[in-house]
Amino acid sequence: MAALSVMTGGGSWFLALALGVTLLKCLLIPTYHSTDFEVHRNWLAITHSLPISQWYYEATSEWTLDYPPFFAWFEYALSHVAKYFDQEMLNVHNLNYSSSRTLLFQRFSVIFTDALFVYAVHECCKCVDGKKACKELTEKPKFILSVLLLWNFGLLIVDHIHFQYNGFLFGLMLLSIARLFQKRHMEGAFLFAVLLHFKHIYLYVAPAYGIYLLRSYCFTANKPDGSIRWNSFSFVRLISLGLTVFLVSALSLGPFLALNQLPQVFSRLFPFKRGLCHAYWAPNFWAVYNALDKVLSVIGPRGFLRCLILCALSSFMFGWHVHEKAILLAILPMSLLSVGKAGDASIFLILSTTGHYSLFPLLFTAPELPIKILLMLLFTIYSISSLKTLFRKEKPLFNWMETFYLLGLGPLEVFCEFVFPFTSWKLKYPFIPLLLTSVYCAVGITYAWFKLYVSVFTDPPVGKTKKQ
């Protein structure tokens, strides 16, 4: 009984939040799932039934394996548990197989692997500045950050309704960020390298990692005013970083190199569309180059985080073929900054509200309509109010223009979901709601991106002490 009372006593709010959101995820099991469900079932089947040499060649289903090898190994490991649920799902030819046991297994696998995300959030909370002495639990930055991350609307609906495995991947990313905040650079680099080989989309933010590690880890000391002391460059550290990345890549791509399948693997990972590549890599690099000289004089993990978010957002902005879900790559790290400064909180709120709203078209079925509206309201109202309360002593978070814009999302939703389907335009121009949503959200996201850029440039480099 004493153990139980300790467990439910003072410090267990984090556990309660984590368990609560896990139970909510269990309730979302019977909801709509997209074709991504079949994609992952197919990958379970491929990795379980076929030898490694066939993994990147198998094309029975249209959903071929197009993630790096670590993810394939992950699916392989899952498939060994899957066989106890339903053997039939592991048959490559059972296209669109979705028995109730398959559904249960797949949903539970996402919920279970989210444990890594929970751990990463716990580590991130340790990095948050607890200086603002609040006795009130709900006003502590740690508490607010935990809710913003654990109960993130985008992650909930993309992972647990639409169906994807973003939870543990973002867990890896947040954990590597946390390690960098905690000055455990090697671990951070290692985790990020591993992450890259799970899902290559994180290459977008690799420049931020590269530059920061170079700047803060390879140059071991700074001059008093904060700029680089060039003669403190440590080759040993550079080599060890390089070795880490190399070893991880070797582990991942090694077997395929041995089988001479590297070109095939790369063609799957980077579908060869010349225009696409030029369309989004170049502006991304250009955007990063712009900030490069400023970044080199930005001190501390906060600067790194800003750079990471900028990379993610820039790639989202300029790559028109990027999926809506990629906005999560910017929103989740931004949560870490939002509990630190009022300016960041304001940017975060605009970004997250419009970003989350842009995910609405992913769930277009009627039973899920109340869920997405209720959860969106829950997250938005909580995030805005809690951050406003946290920064109530500073100037207001939004000006009238921003407030107006955010409030406009309400009528937009009412129009798109409730009014438009009953008008005569539905037959002639069925794409109008999607168009309106995309354009409206693009305005908000661009604005947030711009504000973030400005804040990077106008942040005073001196006086920003290294945190923790």
Partner 1 sequence: MEKWYLMTAVVLLGLTVRWTVSLNSYSGAGKPPMFGDYEAQRHWQEITFNLPIKQWYFNSSDNNLQYWGLDYPPLTAYHSLLCAYVAQFINPDWIALHSSRGYESQAHKLFMRATVLIADLLIYIPAVVLHCCCLKEISTKKKIANALCILLYPGLILIDYGHFHLGLALWGVLGVSCDWDLLGSLAFCLAVNYKQMELYHSLPFFCFLLGKCFKKGLKGKGFVLFVKLAGTVVASFTLCWLPFFTERAQALQVLRRLFPVDRGLFEDKVANIWCSVSVFLKIKDILPHHVQIIVSFCLTLLSLLPACVKLTLQPSPKGFRFTLVSCALSFFLFSFQVHEKSILLVSLPVCLVLSEIPFMSTWFLLVSTFSMLPLLLKDDLLMPSVVTTMAFFIACATSFSIFEKTSEEELRLKSFSVSVRKHLPRFTFLPRIIQHLFIISVITMVLLTLMTVTLDPPQKLPDLFSVLISTELTSANPPLLLRKTGPELTSVPIFLYFICGTPTTAWCAKRCHVRTQDSNWQTPGRQSRTYT
Report the interface residues with partner 1, using CB under 8 A. Answer: 1, 4-5, 8-10, 12-13, 16, 19-20, 23-24, 26-31, 135-138, 366-367, 370-371, 374-375, 377-378, 381-382, 385-386, 389
Choice between 19 and 250, CB closer to partner 1: 19
| Min CB(464)–partner 1 separation in Å | 31
| Min CB(21)–partner 1 separation in Å | 10
| Min CB(395)–partner 1 separation in Å | 20
| Min CB(132)–partner 1 separation in Å | 15
* Cα distances (Å, whole numbers) of residue 367 to 34, 157, 370, 380, 403: 14, 13, 7, 21, 30
* Cα distances (Å, whole numbers) of residue 321 to 131, 208, 283, 329, 447: 42, 22, 14, 15, 20
Backbone angles phi, psi at 319, to 5 degrees: -95, 95
Choice between 245 and 362, CB closer to partner 1: 362
Choice between 366 and 401, CB closer to partner 1: 366
| Min CB(90)–partner 1 separation in Å | 24
What the block records as the tokens of 188 is 């951070």
| Min CB(137)–partner 1 separation in Å | 4
What the block records as the tokens of 204 is 């977008």
Query: Given the structure tokens 């009238």, which residue do they identify?
Result: 400
Choice between 131 and 135, CB closer to partner 1: 135
Choice between 118 and 169, CB closer to partner 1: 118
448 within 8 A of 354, measured Cβ to Cβ: yes
Q: How far apart are CA 13 and CA 26, in angstroms?
A: 20
Residue closest to 227 by CA, chosen among 464, 468, 461? 461
Residue type, 133: A
Residue type, 414: V
Q: Is 260 helix (H, G, I), strand (E, B) or coil?
A: coil
What the block records as the tokens of 319 is 């790559």
Choice between 4 and 401, CB closer to partner 1: 4
